[in-house]
Chain A
Amino acid sequence: MSGKPRLTYLNGRGRMESIRWLLAAAGVEFEEIFLETKEQYEKIIKDGSLMFQQVPLVEIDGMKMVQTRAILSYIAGKYNLYGKDLKERALIDMYVEGIIDLMQMILMFPFSPPEAKEKNLDSIKERATNRYFPVFEKVLKQHGQDFLVGNKFSWADVQLIEAILAVEEKVPAVLSGFPQLQVFKIRMSNMPTIKKFLQPGSPRKPPPDEHYVETVLKIFRK
């Protein structure tokens, strides 16, 4: 037993990617098991490893953790990425939840029918530009600090850099109206652990392609 957290998911971003980002940002090495067939998935359900029969699954500190938010909160708490007190945690939670809502749109995008894709892409662009990014632009402008909360690197910063890069993959000029976020993006990308994660050969997964979509449908569709 290595003591490293062990992640079980498909070989793709999905709901596990935020967890990979957070562990990587915290400098934590982890192992991964990739689900490739329905049979593999059914086996781990039968083994009783999945509390609600769902992945992501992260084996960490003797627990078989499920539910993305629960896992992320635990990692953030453990690696001091959750602020210094309850109020800072509240801010981090609010920011993260907003970003997760935006990321959810990106998560679901590959699964939308072809005729809905253009509309969904417009929605992503609209929400990023009008609802979410302005909030973080304002936060950074108002306090003038490098990090979103408490002048210290936190889960909120990791979630935001992940979201910026994910949206940019779909809407390349999305940060054009957000000078603070442009600087934030560069700053975060240059943090040693994140820089390493952004290099080829890291556990970071590529954007979902048709093969990934097929695998998801194959494994999870009843």
Chain B
Amino acid sequence: MAGKPKLHYSNGRGKMESIRWLLATAGVEFEEQFIEKKEDLEKLRNDGYLLFQQVPMVEIDGMKMVQTRAIGSYIAAKYNLYGKDLKERAWIDMYVEGTTDLMGMIMYLPFQPADTKEKNLALIIERATTRYFPVYEKALKDHGQDYLVGNKLSWADIHLLEAILMAEECKPDILSAFPLLQAFKGRTSNIPTIKKFLQPGSQRKPPTDEKTVAMVKKIY
């Protein structure tokens, strides 16, 4: 038994990517078992490994954890990335739910019918620049600190950086009206564990391409 967390998912970002980010930032090494075909998923199901027959599934501390938010919350709390008290956790949760909504839109984009892509991309950019990024820009402006909550790195910051980079993949200058987020991006990207994760050869997965879409559709 390795003792390292073991991630079960397809070889792509999807719902597992936020968990990879969180573990990597916390400096936790992890293993990955990739689901490549439907039979792999069926085996996990038949072995009784998946509480609700779904992945992501993370084997950690003797548990077979499922449900992205549950997994994220557990890791955040275990590695002190969840604030110092209930109120800080509330703020972190609110911020993370917002970036989850935004990244959810981006995640599904490659799976939308081709004729809706342009409209959906425009909606993502609109939401990012008018609903989500202004909130985080203001939060940083209001307290003038480096991190979103409690003057300390938390899950909210990691999730925000992930969302920023994903949004930039949609529109490279998407942060043009958000100077504090630009500074935040620069700063947070240089945190040693994050810097390492952003380098080639890490377990970070590339943007979802057509090949991944085809594979995912076949599995699920």
A residues lining the B interface (CB < 8 Å): 51-53, 61, 63, 65-67, 69-70, 73-74, 77-78, 86-87, 89-90, 93-94, 96-98, 101, 131-132, 135
| Given the contacts A52-B132, A90-B65, A98-B67, A65 and B77 also touching, CB distance less than 8 Å | no
Q: Which 4 A-B pairs have the closest CB atoms?
A: A93-B70, A70-B93, A97-B67, A67-B97
State in angstroms the CA–CA spacing of A220 and B185 once bound together.
Answer: 33
Which residues in B have their C-beta under 8 angstroms from that of A52? 98, 101, 131-132, 135
B114 at the interface (CB under 8 A from A): no
Which residues in A have their C-beta under 8 angstroms from that of B7? none
| B74 contacts A90, C-beta separation under 8 Å | yes
| A74 contacts B51, C-beta separation under 8 Å | no
| A90 contacts B70, C-beta separation under 8 Å | yes
| A74 contacts B70, C-beta separation under 8 Å | no
Which residues in A have their C-beta under 8 angstroms from that of B52? 98, 101, 131-132, 135
The B contact surface, by secondary structure, is helix
Which residues in A have their C-beta under 8 angstroms from that of B135? 51-52
Count chain B residues whose beta carbon lies closer than 8 angstroms to a beta carbon of A: 29
Which residues in B have their C-beta under 8 angstroms from that of A78? 86
Say which residue of B51, B77, B91 sits within 8 Å of A89 (CB atoms).
B77
Most A-side CB within 10 Å, residue of B78, B89, B94, B101: B94
| B93 contacts A67, C-beta separation under 8 Å | yes
Known: A97-B69, A98-B51. 7 other contacts (CB 8 A): A52-B135, A69-B97, A74-B89, A86-B74, A90-B65, A97-B67, A98-B52
B165 at the interface (CB under 8 A from A): no
Say which residue of B63, B68, B97, B98 sits within 8 Å of A90 (CB atoms).
B63
State in angstroms the CA–CA spacing of A66 and B135 once bound together.
Answer: 13
Which residues in B have their C-beta under 8 angstroms from that of A135? 51-52
Which residues in B have their C-beta under 8 angstroms from that of A89? 73-74, 77
Say which residue of A74, A87, A94, A101 sits within 8 Å of B93 (CB atoms).
A74
| B67 contacts A73, C-beta separation under 8 Å | no
State in angstroms the CA–CA spacing of A207 and B98 once bound together.
Answer: 28
B122 at the interface (CB under 8 A from A): no
State in angstroms the CA–CA spacing of A70 and B99 once bound together.
Answer: 13
Which residues in A have their C-beta under 8 angstroms from that of B67? 93-94, 97-98
Closest beta carbon of chain B to A140's beta carbon, Å: 15
State in angstroms the CA–CA spacing of A90 and B74 once bound together.
Answer: 6
